[in-house]
Amino acid sequence: MGIPKYTWLKAIILLPVIQLITRYISPESENINLAFHVEKGWENIFPSYFWYEVMLLSNALVCFLISEMVLRKLLKFRNIKNNFL
C-alpha cells in the first residue's frame, strides 16, 4: 500500500493540536508533551518558550519529512525487488 504523500505535513499540523489538547487536560507540573514550559536544563539556550517550541517543531518536521522519504524509497525498492522474484 505504501506511504501516502504529505504524511509529514499532516503529522506536523497535528503535533501542535496534540500539544494544545495536552495543555488543557494535563497538569502544568507534569509538562506532558512539553506543552507548558522549556524543559529543565534548556533554559539558558531558550529563554522563551516560543523559540523552544519553534526548535521542537522544526526538528519534528525534519524527522517526519526524512522518515517519509526514506520509507517511500524502501517500499518502492521492496516492490521492485518483489516483482523480479
Quickly list DSSP for 11-46: HHHHHHHHHHHHHHHS-TTT-GGG-SSPPTT-TTT-
Angle of the 7-25 helix axis to the 49-84 helix axis, nearest 10: 140
Please report the pLDDT score of residue 74 as a whole number: 87
Cell numbers for 70, please give them. 526514506
Among 37, 32, 33, CA closest to 15: 33
Domain range annotation of the chain:
7-84
How confident is the model over 3-37, as pLDDT tens digits?
Answer: 888 999 999 999 999 999 999 999 999 999 888 99
Q: What is the pTM of this model?
A: 0.78
- Residue 33: left (phi > 0), alpha (psi -120 to 50), or beta? left
